[in-house]
């Protein structure tokens, strides 16, 4: 149409007369210059007067043309009427359909976002939460600091949410629950600083007298909410019964899948911890609970191995890809599932040690998984920030589980690096220990004393009664030794082949993962980590 720009470049590139690559949510030029990218890839329209005078006619008849063509009007292409709701839905659609995996909301937070635009206009909490999310995403993608507009819309969303929660008709609605989920995404939870939104989601679910989804939308929504709601494992303000955890986790969309199974295993931890605290059967009851959790640990560890094998095949370009996903999406998905499975396994490892389970392979396995998490953190860097947001969770779990101080230093350095993605505060060791103490039912001496034994004699008692459920690992030492070698600066753990007896490594035999340090464990001068592999990632985009 004459007078209408045919290009779809952003406003900044058009104003500067530069070619725009039209990448969403922010073009390369705006990202490099730190500018707010508006209008990239959008078609522009020319507003014309509506009515009879808007019909375009020829200014003068053409003698060579047919008479019938002289009075034929030209049809105008008009855009549909728009209001705030439709504009908001379009803005959300643009944000969640971003092709760049690094800033893709759909990839990071779940498929339920696709159904949100059709639910706008009926719940003020949801409308304001979407507005706040879109604004925050646009600001974050432009690599700008938090703006006054973002804070204002976030505050407005909180006010609207309080109003909906105070109304019995809207307090337990699907839209209100969705609004809580969106606000969780805005604030983030990787630093384990609870915002209250996960507690709010738990209260909404409990107010409905059931955690089961009511329809397909809630079924997809709860798939995404399960992660934040597992804050309840660490947060005493979130209390679910064993039946409520089961209803929350069991979802027909992923029942029987590795993802659903590992989350179902994790959901049983709070109940096991409660039974440890209230156990009246003494040491025999404790032994039964240790055995129950160790069985879950072994099954979850096997899922880890499956993900590791699948990820290695993808990185070696040998995957059959039955789901027919694009190679980049497939790699990022399996990598994320492996990282989350490692985090869940490390949580269980921590609890097993906390409830005084005598199995010396736990420490070695935790070390192996910590190195795997560091390896994932290195390879997932190209998907940062949103595409690798899960990495911090696994690194934190590894930090709280391993005992080697040199390895802890490496984990801290990687955590701090990833926390910069979301402008989070530096790692607070005291805060971390405070959160993880809820996984230790014996953190008070009163609970331990109720068993009629002391912590010093607990291991002696268990050595006589407890049989490990998994075969001992081959540590490469004298078989007469009951204990694995202690990790010291003189002992350098290797990912392969030491752990091949039970846990096949992800890396190839040529891969190395070594700690080189002296006794002061300082970074970077005295401690280096080499995580290299000859197996380069080959992806077809």
Q: Measure the CA–CA gap between 358 and 459, rounded to whole angstroms.
A: 6
Q: Which residues contact 462 (CB under 8 A, 6 or more apart)?
A: 287, 356, 357, 358
pTM above 0.95, yes or no: no
| Torsion 186-189-191-194 (CA) sign | positive
| Torsion 296-301-304-305 (CA) sign | negative
Burial 91-115 (b: 16+ CB within 10 A, else e): bbebbbebebbbbbbbbbbbebbee
Read off the pLDDT of each residue in 82-87 and give the average, rounded to a whole number: 81
Q: What is the overall mean pLDDT for the chain?
A: 74
Domain ranges for the chain, please list them.
Answer: 1-55, 88-251, 270-456+465-473
pLDDT in tens, 387-437: 898 999 999 999 999 999 999 999 999 998 998 887 665 555 556 666 777
pLDDT at 424: 61
| Top-tier CATH class for 1-55 | few secondary structures
pLDDT at 121: 92
pLDDT at 14: 86
* Residue scoring higher pLDDT (443 or 461): 443
Residue 41 tokens, joined: 């890839």
Three-state DSSP state, 72:
coil
Closest to 22 measured CA to CA, from 90, 99, 89, 119:
99
Q: Within a 10 A sphere around the Cβ of 169, how many other Cβ atoms?
A: 7
Closest to 217 measured CA to CA, from 113, 108, 358:
113
Expressed in percent and rounded to 5, the helix, strand and coil fractions of the chain are 55, 5, 40
For the chain, the straight-line distance linking the first and the last C-alpha, in angstroms and rounded, comes to 35
Q: Measure the CA–CA gap between 510 and 375, rounded to whole angstroms.
A: 15
Asked if residues 138 and 88 have their Cβ atoms less than 8 Å apart, the reply is: no
DSSP secondary structure code for residue 230 in this structure: G
Q: Measure the CA–CA gap between 356 and 337, rounded to whole angstroms.
A: 29
DSSP secondary structure code for residue 477 in this structure: S
């Amino acid at each position: 149409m004459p007078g209408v720009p045919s290009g779809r470049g952003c406003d900044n590139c058009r104003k500067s007369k530069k070619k725009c690559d039209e990448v969403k949510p922010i073009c390369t030029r705006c990202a490099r210059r730190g500018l707010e990218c508006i209008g990239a890839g959008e078609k522009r329209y020319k507003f014309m007067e509506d009515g009879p005078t808007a019909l375009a006619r020829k200014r003068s008849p053409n003698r060579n043309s047919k008479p019938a063509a002289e009075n034929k009007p030209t049809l105008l292409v008009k855009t549909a009427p728009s209001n705030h709701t439709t504009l908001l839905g379009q803005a959300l659609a643009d944000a969640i359909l971003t092709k760049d995996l690094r800033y893709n909301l759909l990839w990071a937070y779940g498929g339920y976002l696709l159904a949100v635009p059709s639910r706008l206009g009926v719940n003020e909490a949801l409308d304001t939460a979407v507005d706040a999310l879109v604004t925050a995403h646009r600001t974050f993608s432009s690599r700008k600091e938090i703006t006054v507009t973002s804070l204002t819309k976030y505050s407005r969303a909180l006010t609207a949410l309080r109003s909906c929660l105070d109304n019995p008709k809207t307090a337990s609605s699907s839209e209100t629950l969705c609004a809580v989920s969106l606000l969780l995404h805005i604030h983030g939870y990787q630093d384990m600083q609870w915002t209250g939104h996960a507690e709010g989601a738990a209260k909404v679910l409990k107010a409905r007298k059931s955690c089961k989804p009511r329809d397909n939308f809630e079924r997809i929504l709860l798939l995404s909410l399960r992660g934040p709601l597992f804050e309840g494992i660490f947060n005493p303000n979130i209390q679910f019964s064993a039946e409520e955890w089961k209803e929350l986790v069991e979802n027909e969309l992923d029942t029987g899948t590795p993802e659903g199974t590992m989350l179902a295993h994790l959901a049983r931890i709070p109940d096991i911890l409660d039974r440890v605290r209230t156990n009246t059967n003494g040491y025999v009851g404790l032994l039964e609970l240790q055995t129950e959790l160790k069985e879950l640990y072994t099954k979850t560890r096997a899922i880890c191995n499956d993900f590791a094998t699948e990820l290695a095949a993808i990185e070696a370009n040998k995957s059959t890809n039955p789901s027919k996903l694009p190679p980049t999406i497939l790699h990022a998905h399996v990598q994320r599932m492996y990282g989350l499975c490692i985090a869940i396994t490390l949580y269980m490892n921590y609890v097993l040690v906390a409830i005084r389970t005598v199995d010396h392979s736990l420490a070695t396995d935790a070390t192996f998984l910590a190195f795997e998490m560091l390896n994932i953190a290195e390879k997932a860097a190209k998907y940062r920030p949103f595409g690798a947001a899960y990495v911090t969770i696994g690194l934190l779990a590894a930090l709280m589980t391993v005992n080697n101080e040199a390895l802890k230093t490496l984990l801290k350095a990687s955590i701090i690096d990833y926390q910069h993605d979301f402008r989070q505060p530096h790692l607070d060791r005291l805060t971390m220990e405070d959160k993880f103490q809820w996984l230790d039912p014996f953190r008070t001496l009163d609970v331990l004393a109720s068993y009629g034994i002391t912590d010093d004699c607990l291991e002696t008692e268990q050595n006589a009664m407890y049989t490990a459920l998994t075969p001992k690992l081959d540590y490469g030492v004298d078989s007469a030794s009951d204990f694995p070698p202690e990790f010291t600066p003189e002992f350098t753990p290797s990912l392969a082949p030491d752990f091949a007896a039970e846990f096949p490594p992800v890396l190839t035999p040529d891969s190395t993962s070594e700690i080189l340090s002296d006794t002061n464990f300082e970074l970077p001068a005295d401690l280096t980590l080499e995580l290299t592999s000859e197996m380069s990632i080959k992806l077809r985009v």
